[in-house]
Structure 1
């Protein structure tokens, strides 16, 4: 066992568990992770990504094919889609929770070591990992109230007896930050009498008690097992809520950050190419803390981007998006932003607290509702509720502006992705954005869950038929998206850590400049964020006269760097030397 690694693990454990034997725990965790004795520490500040990295986000059962019978599982459809439609487009696939579950579309996990038999098995996961990197969820804050561990808890048996966070209804929990509106504590009948269990997200999702080192060791075991199944990217779901402490907000506590640092240390010694991404739907400043000093999360979800970008395109004003981009610190080597504008969840509103006024937020909400969207709420101190997220498919979110519907939905939708693909960070695209899926109101009505509006399940042969029909908007969106991505992957200036500066071109043109790490390529990314044509003076970009400049998207050359060009509604140019 490496003495250096042992000392580093001990140092983290002494912070998390000051009263425990840190040397004993450190040896236990290193053995559980299965780290060889001769392992060397990976070089710090190393980028494990480049401009060719594009992630696909999807559920394991988004693509169904009942015609092939019950033995043909959805993960095989996903594998076929990636191989035959996205083989030169995406580099990684985030398969949302594929374990047996009881609710929340997978995020109430019953068994972390099994693949939901309705989706497939571990062979299917390993097959997908042969062609692309696989990202899996580590649902680290809670598990299903119907899990074996929680059944053991109720019966006073191990493992599970001491896995869950108990509290008294008499405790003052008024400071606790809540993402939902239900009662925080759930009364449970156990063999030792009635107990109250902490439930951050729902009463079917019972929170773990990481004050017990056995819980930490169990999750190290889970991470080790996933690595052995070919998974190299981990999404730490709702990790901000991991550590609870009386009299605090119970979010982003120091012990939570220390646990993430410890897990990264162990994971990267087992596999130096592994990546940890934290999912923390919280205000921007708090989110940035999960980078640590390039010793915590490799990447963090850029949660402010979706609401700010959508707000920009429906208002025709990039003021807030530009202000945010100017304030975004460059990610140091070894860390990266994880950029997305659509996912299985809604458009989070917490990340724009302090950026959008209450009136601006209300206008955004009302606009999205007019396009068929829904609103989910969270509880505040004093019994009040506040909008937590907007639930809508991104394609329908781009149906119009604050003035109503128009005929520019597809242009606005592509513009949103062109901006996202250019911004510093690793781009991740939801499967429904690849094919322009619309609101699934039927699923919302059947499930009574707002988030189901953007969790449509496609009949795979039907989708393939759409993608083969040039008149279908699904095919048009797919073709434009994939062509744009292939172009983007060839540009070194779009490396996730390439230099970025925000341009000042007024409120109707949103622009930024990227420069490759070797300083050989520059790209000026300018988007018309309005529904009217806009003039762009190339002189405002200060292009070097001796270089040859071209729009990469249209292949238009610019021979006079003082010309003015006209941008159509929602057109983007990538002007590069």
Structure 2
């Protein structure tokens, strides 16, 4: 694409974003500044992204971790993380999402003080770049807010310098009743500044002050940050809490048109620097709204499949896949050039907003009570009517699946592996939280120390202690890592598990959850069948319609499937990946 053509495209984005904003700079000048900032000058070669091209395949797995999830005495945590991955993940994980590794003041990294430096307690940019040499680096762009202890906010308070006009303010007398809130804290933070009392918009907490993207200097600052991260090896950008980016007083200030257009602009700039860089939007909102962030394959390359965690956990603790099956049938196939980002555990809890409209209030209530019985905590939000509603369940996935609504049982590990097998076989790119890979249990001590519910799922492992457990065949951690690693190795070898391969939901009753995958070249089929309850189940082979002229094998056990038997007997939480080809 010629520089002039791209410049016109960027200018068009800007005209849409700032149509209702009086700027003191022309669209032409701003477009040039943005392109120069990200490294696209008139004399440089401009990359040519392919429309609807998949920059991923079945081999892509993303591990989600904090920079200090594993620590070793007298060693920088990022060095320890790299050592852990080389020792235990080398043949399974090829991408790593290191949660915010910048200096921060709260929210375990998501209240960023300085976007341009690495937290000294974790390591340095050299350590980040060393990881990026061997793994695809996914980094957070915490774009909605920053720390109230940042230099930018200090300058806002002083009324001078960079950042002095970066933050969104409102009047307490404004009608803010429609604003969508993920927290119960007051929306506005009263702040004394050199220019008098101001009320700063805080979507999440009063230590997380929201940016005002009506000021194009904020956009320029973030394009500069993106350029830095690309230079340091970032291959995947996670746009944190991006749904709240644009605010308009009198509206719900979520998912606004301008927010989508800012994402389209960021996409345009990044893909003309390096088309292989992927953008993932983190939008923890109801499913229908979440899907809009694909745009027309011109916004996010991938979106978080936020409805999957609550639906899958509900399925496995209730022993009924009705809701999961209905949701799966309703999900549109991701068109080429886009993909779902599947996960069932993360540094946050099990979000319940994405289950709204999919699970009934009674089902959500039953799920919450079961998780509380398993030692989980509940975080709350204020509804539009001022009532408190459960927003998030805080619990490790391993402990969330320790039993059913009847209580704990002996199937914890099998149920946990079943959950990951279902996720790994689905359409989309899988993300696995490090504490799921390790089978980590609830960390009550950390909750007590921090006073934060989310700390329950953010354990910090001592490397030597963890190494001993992972090397012991009798520990839950060894069993979990071994079995999940086996599933990953199988998945990575099968073309039918390409993130964009065909998927079709099977109708096998409420206790058997199944779907069919077919490779893009239509040569390989895999029937993914899971017993999601605590009793043995029998399935008729005629119900999954295996073609009699093919030879079928369970990829997990390597057992041949005899069509003459007419049925299969499945143990509680057993998973079958039945395929006509085996590429492992």
Does TM, scored on the shorter chain, surpass 0.5? yes
Alpha-carbon distance in 2 for matches of 1:400, 1:370 = 10
Verify: 1:26 aligned to 2:27, yes or no. no
User: CA deviation digits over 1:360-418, x for unaligned, max 9?
Assistant: 11100000000000000011234211100000000000110000110100000000000
Residue-by-residue CA offset, 1:69-122 (whole Å, 9 max, x unaligned): 2xx210001001111111110110000000000000000000000000000000
Q: CA deviation at 1:38?
A: 2.8
User: In structure 2, what is the equivalent of residue 457 of structure 1?
Assistant: 460
Q: Distance in 1 between matches of 2:178 and 2:431?
A: 34
Match of 2:63 among 36, 51, 56: 56
Q: Give runs of aligned pairs for residues 279-290 of structure 1, distance below 5 A.
A: 279-290=282-293
Residues 47, 271 of structure 2: 8 Å contact kept: no
TM alignment of 1:470-549, pairs within 5 A? 470-549=473-552
Equivalent residue for 2:119, pick from 87, 109, 116: 116
**Kept in 2: contact 1:505–1:511 (CA 8 A):** yes
Distance 1:229 1:262 in 2: 22
Task: State whether structure 2 residue 243 is matched by structure 1 residue 213.
Answer: no
How do residues 36-435 of structure 1 correspond to structure 2 at under 5 angstroms?
Answer: 36=41, 37-66=44-73, 69=74, 72-435=75-438
Question: Partners in 2 of 1:13 and 1:240 — Cα distance?
Answer: 18
Cα separation, 2, equivalents of 1:297 and 1:272: 13
CA distance in structure 2 between the aligned counterparts of 1:47 and 1:40, rounded to whole angstroms: 16
CA distance in structure 1 between the partners assigned to 2:506 and 2:561 by the alignment: 19
- Give the conservation status (yes or no) of the 8 Å contact 1:399–1:408: yes
Q: 2:447 aligns with which of 444, 458, 465?
A: 444
C-alpha contact (below 8 Å) 2:188/2:202 kept by paired residues = yes
Question: Deviation at 1:26?
Answer: 0.6
Secondary structure in structure 1 of the residue aligned to 2:527? strand
In the TM superposition, residue 543 of structure 1 has moved relative to its aligned partner by: 1.1
TM-score, normalization: structure 1? 0.98
Aligned twin of 1:35? 40
Q: Take 2:72 and 2:40, find their aligned partners in 1: how far apart are those partners?
A: 41
- 1:12 equivalent in structure 2: 13
Distance in 2 (CA, whole Å) between partners of 1:262 and 1:50 is 26
TM-fit CA distance, 1:445: 1.1
Preserved CA contact (<8 Å) 2:344 2:423: yes
Distance 1:380 1:403 in 2: 30
* Contact 1:543-1:561 at 8 Å conserved across structures: no
1:249-292 C-alpha deviation (Å, 9 max, x unpaired): 00000000000000011011111110100000000000000000
Structure 1 distance, partners of 2:381, 2:28, is 42
Q: CA deviation at 1:562?
A: 6.0
Say whether the 8 Å CA contact 2:505–2:514 is kept in structure 1. yes
Once the two structures are TM-superposed, the CA of residue 141 in structure 1 deviates from its matched residue by 0.2
Question: 1:568 matched to which residue of 2?
Answer: 571
Structure-2 separation of matches of 1:313 and 1:522: 25
The two structures, once aligned, show a CA RMSD in angstroms of: 0.9
Q: Any unmatched runs of 5+ in structure 2?
A: none
Cα distance in 2, alignment partners of residues 319 and 471 from structure 1: 35
**Structure 1 SS opposite 2:510:** coil
Query: Take 2:126 and 2:88, find their aligned partners in 1: how far apart are those partners?
Result: 21
Unpaired stretches in structure 1, ≥5 consecutive residues:
none
Number of residue pairs aligned between Structure 1 and Structure 2:
573
| C-alpha displacement of 1:40 | 3.8
Can you list the C-alpha shifts for 1:146-187, whole angstroms capped at 9, x where unaligned? 000000000011201100001000000000000000000000
1:537/1:562 contact within 8 Å kept: no
Say which SS state the counterpart of residue 232 (structure 1) adopts.
Answer: strand
- C-alpha separation in 1, matches of 2:417 and 2:574: 9
Whole-angstrom CA distance in 1 between matches of 2:93 and 2:40: 30
1:550 and 1:558 in contact (8 A); partners too:
yes
Q: Which stretch shows the higher mean deviation, 377-386 or 509-518?
A: 377-386
Alpha-carbon shift at residue 232 of structure 1 (Å) = 1.2
Q: CA deviation at 1:561?
A: 5.7
SS of 1:277 mapped into structure 2: strand
Shifted more, 331-340 versus 33-42: the winner is 33-42
